[in-house]
Chains A and B, each alone.
Chain A
Amino acid sequence: MNLRTLLLAATALTLAGGVAEAKTQIQWWHAMGGELGKKLEEVAAGFNASQADYEIVPVFKGTYPETLTAAIAAFRAKEQPAIVQVFEVGTGTMMAAKGAVYPVYKLMADHGEVFEKSAYLPSVVGYYSDADGNILSMPFNSSTPILYYNKDVFKKAGLDPEVAPKTWAEVESFSKKILDSGAAKCGFTSGWITWVQLENFSAIHDKPFGTLANGFGGLGTEFTFNGELQARHWDNLKKWQDAGIFKYGGPVGGADAPPLFYSQECAIYMNSSASRAGVVNNAKDFQVGFAPLPYYDDAIASPMNSIIGGATLWTLTGRPEDEYKGAAKFFSYLSKPEVQADWHQATGYLPITNAAYELGKTQGYYEKNPGADISIKQMTRTEPSENSKGVRFGNLVQVRDAVDNEFQALLAGKKTAKEALDAAVVAGNQILRDFEAANQ
């Protein structure tokens, strides 16, 4: 290649770059790594290919808490993205940040797009709406924790591989059988201790997590998750850890929990329904079963619905008008049944629109993939009570951190469950008061 061709090539590249820039680029900060991240990029690419004016640029920003703090820091430095994915725990923080958020109902109305509220699962929409029922952020990936189990290990232990443990008593007795038979070295592990073994645990047993309807009633809420049943469960977890039945996967999301299940060390695994993509990809040598979360049958006859996790997309203020136009179009694209259904089926997140769920049914997806609808069935199995509607607390990220730390103190034998939960409530309430003071 001589100099002239090189120059020509360079000019051509510059021109191509110039053409690409004619599209309005819209930054989308997200927290989806691994299999989920790949699928998310496909969704963005699908939108970019569907029209010519806008380009969604997904940027992976790390874990959920990291993405949230990165967006806040960027906002303070006036470098914020138009769209940021914030997990449900950050909802309270975002809702209080009135000047920073461009509410989705307004964004859609301002740009002539339609957000059809009734098309979505009521529990999802309710979670992200203000007191007047206006949707504030775009539902995208909602999940709920379920139970996964290793059918091969169950068989080896002499258990029926088609029967999952329904109650905690069964989790204990099945695990003992698995350990005694040597089929696996550990009974069960769990991701997201705070979300699965405390927030959802309280919800499905119809126990309050905090006052004022779990925080939906206002900033003056206080935590009440140090009840008798929660303490009993945590005491059991400690007891089970000592007996080798339970293995701790670490704080926050529990990074060590998935490998424990994939490597067949633990036979049962509780985690987000969105862990399905990872489980299916990694469980090459064994069959996986899916089931609802276990409960204490002496505490509640039929368990309540579980609550959602996952994230929504928030638009931040202070970007050029063009980007909002594109963002509104992108949100409309996201609500399409085929986009929703594809995302749900690939990742294990809930089908958040009724149309997406129906589409999956007509496609025969749930017959071909038994267990894929466990999550939505568990989430919608009862009419939500005040205790199972969800949780809404400011600075819940820090509260979860405090809960994680107390859980570790419990496992290390430094505190009893009651002491640990009491301490977490005290620390949590302090955080709530700070949040209230900073947002008045």
Chain B
Amino acid sequence: MQTKRTTFPSRGLPYLLLAPQLAVTAVFFLWPAGQALWSSFLREDAFGFRSSFVWFDNYQRLFRDSQYLDSVGITALFSISVAALSMSAALLLAVSVNSLLRSRNAYTTLIVWPYAVAPAIAGILWWFMFNPTVGILTYMLAGLGIDWNHRVSSTDAMILIVLAASWKQISYNFLFFLAGLQAIPHSLIEAAAIDGAGPFKRFWTIVFPLLSPTTFFLLVVNVVYAMFDTFGVIHSTTEGGPNHATNILVYKVYADGMLGLNLGSSAAQSAILMVIVIVLTVVQFRWIERRVQY
């Protein structure tokens, strides 16, 4: 990789140019993150009158708390399901649309639409359709003999949030897969066709491997999305219930901190989430961007 090097006339100028961005980072990231780290060592009452320094007590309690460990498992299940569902659906759609000639743009536009829907609205939409009392899909499922009730059944609740979270993400994945597909040289596919490879064989031996950079990139993005950006979806559908069955780590930070007013524990949980984000970012930059051959 070629790097461009600019030579500045004075040593101060580059720092001056960097200053606004550094200031933004300091105010909107370093400062609040530092405060969160500090409060993760404290035990406070809700109104902030009394606080005592408790060292790692908040962390130790978390790892002794079976509910927290359950939440880790739930988050893993949720993220993997969302990534798998939204990526496979998006790939299927992208391959189908890519084979079209004239209607390609029309379909692309339509499929991208859900991405513009805010997570909370997407959540409400699915919540309405699956509402145990008034939902249209619940009514139809009841006709098929399936008793849907995400208020009680943890499986139903998990399916609901996976559907709602994936639905939105399909659009995003679709765009990347479509762009990836269009970048694959037609000559390769035609050569394989001439050699007698059928459509399935062509897909699995040529197209899919060539898409791998896109796939890896999307995998990381989707896992990050499912872990951190689905708050709105969960808040507007299951609120972490029933019996904590959909209480993913990010939602638990909110529930314990904002509803439970247990600020120390909530801060400790966000510190742990921060570590997870850092690890995922390192994975993306160091591992995926370097190893995957474009």
Q: Which A residues have a C-beta under 8 Å from some C-beta of B? A: 65, 69, 72-73, 75-76, 93, 96-100, 248-251, 256, 259-260, 263, 265, 395, 397-398, 401, 404-406, 408-409, 411-412, 414, 434, 437-439
Contacts and interface: CB of A to CB of B under 8 A. Distances in A.
Contact of B48 (A76, A93, A404, A411): A76
B232 interface: no
Nearest to A93: B46
Contacts of B239: 251
B133 A260 contact: yes
Nearest to B134: A259
B47 A248 contact: no
Nearest to A250: B151
A65 B239 CA distance: 13
Q: Which of A72, A265, A438 has its CB near the most chain B CB atoms (within 10 A)?
A: A438
A404 B241 contact: yes
A401 B260 contact: yes
Q: Which of A249, A404, A408, A409 has its CB near the most chain B CB atoms (within 10 A)?
A: A408
Interface residues of B, number: 28
B21 interface: no
A404 B239 CA distance: 12
Given A96-B45, A100-B49, A65 B152 contact: no
Interface string B243-259: 11000000000010011
A76 B243 contact: no
Given A69-B261, A408-B242, A438 B43 contact: yes
12 contacts: A72-B46, A97-B46, A248-B151, A256-B132, A256-B133, A259-B133, A397-B261, A401-B259, A405-B244, A408-B152, A434-B262, A439-B50
Contacts of B134: 259, 263
B259 A398 contact: yes
Contact of A408 (B49, B241, B261): B241
A408 B151 contact: yes
A408 B243 contact: yes
Nearest to B255: A401
Nearest to A101: B47
A437 B262 CA distance: 12
Nearest to B239: A251
Contacts of B284: none
B47 A100 contact: yes
Contacts of B151: 248-251, 256, 408
B131 interface: yes
Nearest to A65: B259
Contacts of A73: 258
Nearest to A63: B259
A245 B149 CA distance: 16
A397 B258 CA distance: 11
A398 B261 CA distance: 9
B154 A412 contact: yes
A150 to B, nearest CB: 16
A401 B261 CA distance: 13
A29 to B, nearest CB: 15
Given A256-B132, A408-B152, A76 B47 contact: yes
Interface in B40-69: 43-50
A249 B149 CA distance: 10
A408 B243 CA distance: 6
B153 interface: yes
B243 A405 contact: yes
Contacts of B153: 412
A136 to B, nearest CB: 15
Contacts of A76: 47-48
Given A259-B134, A405-B241, A248 B152 contact: yes
Q: Which of A263, A265, A398 has its CB near the most chain B CB atoms (within 10 A)?
A: A398
Given A97-B47, A439-B45, A398 B260 contact: yes
